[in-house]
């Protein structure tokens, strides 16, 4: 299969996991929304740290020009390069705006803990935020309730999306009030792939700035798939996970506008976050150091740089978008006609609006189980079933129809093929057309 003249099979050869066989068949990996596979260049970058300069990267004073020893010097060079690579990826003003985290969740927690909210301030999100962009704000609400001595205090509010899950800018704008100190939204949904258009982000950023608030963008599902320029969008904080874009597991990034990072209280503190301490007080480093407590995942930083370079240069966002559209179009063409009383798709119909994600739902968990089990057994298909960490939205929308918990998601990345989509669609079709024949697998 070629996309924009690229041979996808050639790209696949870079991924050792795709060469594995079980029962004589290769894997069909369709759980890319959760984590992607890794190309050899990323694995090599990780190995490089451990084999060549596996040393302590901590203990440097801020802005120091002290001479490092041999291993530290080499590591330092890679660290600087990695942070700059992440900054360039996002169009950040400086690499000092890049904070390494373990993942998007940690990055969002740093922001939710660090902003100095006061009782009366509000945090706004859509009705469909990932738990990682909901729970940290509910915790902020709990802390403010305690502070205010008001158990009823509402801090976190939400606005509704369109009926089909599409983003509704008017509703979002209308929900911003003078109390809105934070607008925290997902750039792209991990449930149905819908994306908030760039124009909408810009309009929301402008409005939230007018009322003195900040826009926090959960970009876990956008940065791996499309160019995201923080300055062009006008956002204030942004979080994403490197492991969703071919990078090492447990690596993520918090980007923040430098002046805002400088005002953010540190969350996890201790070793390497400090400029100096005395028995009774502490002076923290400037960002990003103050947010990176303890010794870090240095191998992960090398792997992150390799992953970013691989995704943006070796593969390229154009190829990613074109391939995802081709794959999701095929999946949609095969799966949408199966719609019946026991099976339907979530989100907008048009695959162009859903990135690389297609989510199926059923009031019958047995049917979802059967598809997943059969796919695993017969064709090594790996998909995800459940609530995908958007429980609050699924409960709100689908508890009444009994389907909230019975969802199955297939998510593609550039290395997936039309043949893989067909193999998955064949399984879905068999089960949906003859569900009662497959309940033994449920």
Ligand X SMILES: Cc1ncc(COP(=O)(O)O)c(C=O)c1O
Q: What are residue 164's phi and psi, to 5 degrees? A: -90, 10
Using the rule CB under 6 A, is 254 a contact of ligand X? no
Is residue 389 among the annotated active site residues? yes
Q: Look at strands 344-345 and 357-361 and give their pairing.
A: antiparallel
d(C-alpha 379, C-alpha 316), whole Å: 29
The entry of ligand X, other proteins, none near residue 221 (CB within 5 to 8 angstroms by kind) is ligand X
For residue 353, the partner it binds in other proteins, ligand X, none, with Cβ less than 5 to 8 A by kind, is none
Question: Does residue 387 touch other proteins according to CB under 8 A?
Answer: yes
- The backbone torsions φ and ψ at residue 319, rounded to the nearest 5 degrees and listed phi first, read -65, -45
For residues 171-189, b (16+ Cβ closer than 10 Å) or e, as one string? Answer: ebeebbeebbbbbbbbbbb
- Choose among ligand X, other proteins, none what residue 105 binds, the Cβ cut-off being 5 to 8 Å by kind: ligand X
Sign of torsion over alpha carbons 337, 341, 342, 348: positive
Residue in 75, 134, 185, 186 binding ligand X, rule: CB under 6 A? 186
Nearer to ligand X, 198 or 378 (CB): 198
| 405 contacts 386 by C-beta, under 8 angstroms | yes
In angstroms, give the least distance from the CB of 87 to other proteins. Answer: 41
| Residue 316 within binding range of other proteins, rule CB under 8 A | no
Nearest to other proteins of 90, 346 (CB atom)? 346
- Written as six digits, the tokens of 143 are 């802390």
- Cβ 104 to ligand X shortest distance, Å: 4
Is 39 or 375 the residue whose CB approaches other proteins more closely?
Answer: 375
Task: Identify the residue among 218, 236, 297, 324 touching ligand X (CB under 6 A).
Answer: 218
Identify the bridge partners of residue 359 per DSSP, sorted by sequence position.
409
Distance between CA 297 and CA 299 in Å, rounded? 6
372 binds ligand X (CB under 6 A): no
Helix (H, G, I), strand (E, B) or coil at 384: strand
Cβ proximity to ligand X: between 132 and 417 the closer is 132
* Residue 375 contacts which entry, ligand X, other proteins, none (Cβ below 5-8 A, type-dependent): none
Instruction: List binders of ligand X among 125-154 (CB under 6 A).
Output: 130, 132-133
For 435, residues 6+ apart whose C-beta sits below 8 A from its C-beta are 342, 364, 366, 367, 370
Please, which of residues 338-377 interact with other proteins by CB under 8 A? 341-342, 344, 363-366, 368-370, 372-373
CA atoms within 13 A on the CB side of 419: 9
Q: Which residues bind other proteins (CB under 8 A)?
A: 341-342, 344, 363-366, 368-370, 372-373, 385-387, 399-402, 404-406, 435-436, 439-442
Q: Which residues bind ligand X (CB under 6 A)?
A: 34, 103-105, 130, 132-133, 186, 190, 218, 220-221, 241, 252
């Amino acid at each position: 299969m070629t996309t924009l003249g690229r041979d996808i099979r050639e790209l696949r050869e870079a991924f050792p996991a795709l060469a594995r066989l079980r029962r004589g068949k290769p894997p069909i990996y369709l759980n890319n929304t959760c984590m992607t596979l890794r190309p050899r260049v990323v694995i090599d970058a990780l190995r490089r740290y451990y084999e060549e300069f596996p040393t302590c990267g901590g203990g440097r004073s801020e802005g120091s020009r002290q001479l490092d020893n041999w291993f530290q010097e080499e590591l330092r060079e890679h660290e600087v390069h990695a942070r700059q690579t992440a900054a360039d990826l996002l169009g950040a003003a400086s690499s000092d705006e890049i904070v390494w985290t373990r993942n998007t969740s940690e990055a969002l927690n740093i922001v939710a803990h660090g902003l100095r909210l006061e009782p009366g301030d509000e945090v706004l999100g859509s009705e469909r935020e990932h738990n990682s962009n909901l729970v940290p704000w509910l915790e902020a609400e709990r802390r403010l309730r305690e502070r205010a001595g008001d158990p009823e205090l509402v801090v976190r509010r939400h606005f509704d999306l369109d009926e089909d899950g599409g983003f509704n800018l008017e509703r979002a704008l209308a929900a911003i009030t003078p109390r809105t100190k934070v607008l925290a939204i997902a750039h792209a949904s991990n449930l149905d792939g819908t994306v908030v258009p760039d124009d909408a982000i810009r309009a929301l950023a402008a409005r939230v700035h007018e009322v003195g608030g900040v826009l926090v963008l959960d970009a876990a599902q956008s940065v791996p798939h499309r160019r995201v320029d923080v300055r062009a969008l006008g956002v204030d904080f942004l979080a994403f996970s490197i492991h969703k874009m071919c990078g090492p597991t447990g690596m993520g990034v918090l980007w923040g506008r430098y002046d805002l990072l400088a005002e953010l209280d540190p969350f996890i503190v201790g070793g390497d976050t400090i400029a100096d301490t005395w028995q009774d007080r502490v002076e923290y480093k400037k960002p990003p150091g103050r947010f990176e407590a303890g010794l870090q995942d240095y191998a992960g930083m090398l792997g992150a740089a390799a992953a970013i370079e691989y995704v943006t240069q070796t593969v390229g966002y154009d190829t990613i978008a074109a391939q995802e559209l081709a794959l999701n179009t095929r999946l949609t063409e095969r799966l949408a006609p199966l719609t019946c009383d026991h099976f339907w798709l979530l989100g907008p119909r048009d695959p162009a609006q859903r990135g690389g994600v297609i989510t199926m739902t059923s009031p019958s968990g047995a049917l979802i189980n059967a598809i997943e089990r059969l796919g695993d057994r017969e064709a090594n298909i790996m998909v995800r079933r459940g609530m995908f960490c958007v429980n609050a939205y699924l409960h709100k929308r689908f508890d009444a129809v009994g389907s909230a918990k019975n969802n199955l998601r297939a998510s593609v990345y550039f290395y997936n093929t039309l043949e893989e989509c067909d193999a998955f669609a064949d399984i879905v079709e068999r089960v949906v057309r003859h569900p009662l024949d497959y309940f033994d697998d449920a």
